[in-house]
């Protein structure tokens, strides 16, 4: 399965949810996107479910010199969460990475101000929360987000992605009530290989998508 772009992936995800028997049992749904790539995907799902769309801010903390290798994450304005096993293998300490964590936290504040345009974050207690991204590679950001969301006491917590690593999808079942992953290729290398068009999602596009939902709220 290869998706044309994130919007098509979101529509495929929406079709799956509309056929899923559990969807009818979900109450007070809110769809949360992981910026930036998760926003166009989540928008299609939220439209199909006639549910509000919002964002869950997470920034991964990359290894110094190899930023693509995630060793932790920052969620909202919370203290960073590090993957201690990775730090031990790489010979790194949390103290060494705190400057990087502080930088990502500042970036979260800046982006959240721009994306939310003054709107408060939604209350999640007792609601059915669907967290959406464009794919699962290492699972670092999704794991950190799910841990944080669980602390908000939702009634149901669901992770939904179009494609992802089978091992990571299986592992994340420990953090969510359900994990929905449409395509789990055996030889998974990168999210981008499963999209014909995988252009970077810009801040302006995110703001426009969110405003279209806020306007009808």
Tell me the pLDDT tens digit for each residue of 150-183.
999 999 999 999 999 999 999 999 999 999 999 9
Residue 1 belongs to some domain of the structure: no
Q: Domain check: are 48 and 73 in the same one?
A: no
Q: Which of 72, 36, 32, 66 has the alpha carbon at shortest distance from 49?
A: 32
Helices (H), 91-202: 94-116, 140-150, 166-171
Residues 102 and 75 in one domain: yes
Residues 46 and 145 in one domain: yes
Statement to judge: residues 94 and 157 lie in one domain: no
pLDDT of residue 217: 58
124 with 41, same domain: the answer is: yes
Per-residue pLDDT, 214: 78
Considering the domain architecture, whether residues 88 and 194 belong to the same structural domain is answered as: no
Tokens 């908000």 sit on residue: 152
Does residue 200 fall inside a structural domain? yes
- Full domain range(s) for residue 102: 60-115
Confidence band for 216, pLDDT divided at 50, 70 and 90:
low
Same domain, 161 and 196: yes
Contact assessment for residue 176 and residue 169, using Cβ atoms and an 8 Å cutoff: no
CATH of the domain at 11: 3.40.50.2020
What is the distance between the alpha carbons of residues 83 and 76, in angstroms, rounded to a whole number? 18
The pTM for the full model equals 0.94
């Amino acid at each position: 399965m290869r998706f044309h772009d994130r919007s098509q992936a979101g529509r495929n995800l929406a079709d799956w949810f509309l056929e899923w028997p559990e969807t009818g049992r979900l109450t007070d749904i809110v769809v949360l996107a992981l910026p930036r790539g998760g926003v166009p995907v989540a928008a299609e799902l939220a439209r199909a479910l006639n549910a509000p769309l919002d964002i869950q801010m997470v920034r991964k903390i990359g290894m110094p010199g190899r930023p693509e290798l995630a060793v932790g994450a920052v969620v909202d304005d919370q203290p960073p969460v590090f993957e201690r096993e990775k730090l031990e293998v790489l010979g790194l300490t949390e103290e060494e990475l705190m400057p990087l964590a502080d930088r990502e936290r500042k970036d979260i504040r800046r982006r959240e101000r721009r994306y939310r345009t003054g709107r408060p974050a939604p209350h999640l207690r007792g609601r059915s929360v669907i967290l959406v991204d464009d794919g699962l590679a290492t699972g670092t950001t999704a794991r950190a987000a799910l841990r944080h969301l669980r602390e908000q006491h939702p009634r149901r917590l669901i992770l939904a992605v179009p494609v992802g690593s089978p091992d990571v999808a299986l592992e994340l079942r420990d953090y969510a009530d359900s994990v929905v992953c449409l395509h789990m290729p055996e030889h998974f290398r990168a999210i981008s290989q499963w999209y014909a068009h995988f252009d970077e999602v810009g801040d302006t596009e995110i703001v426009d998508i969110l405003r279209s939902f806020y306007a009808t709220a």
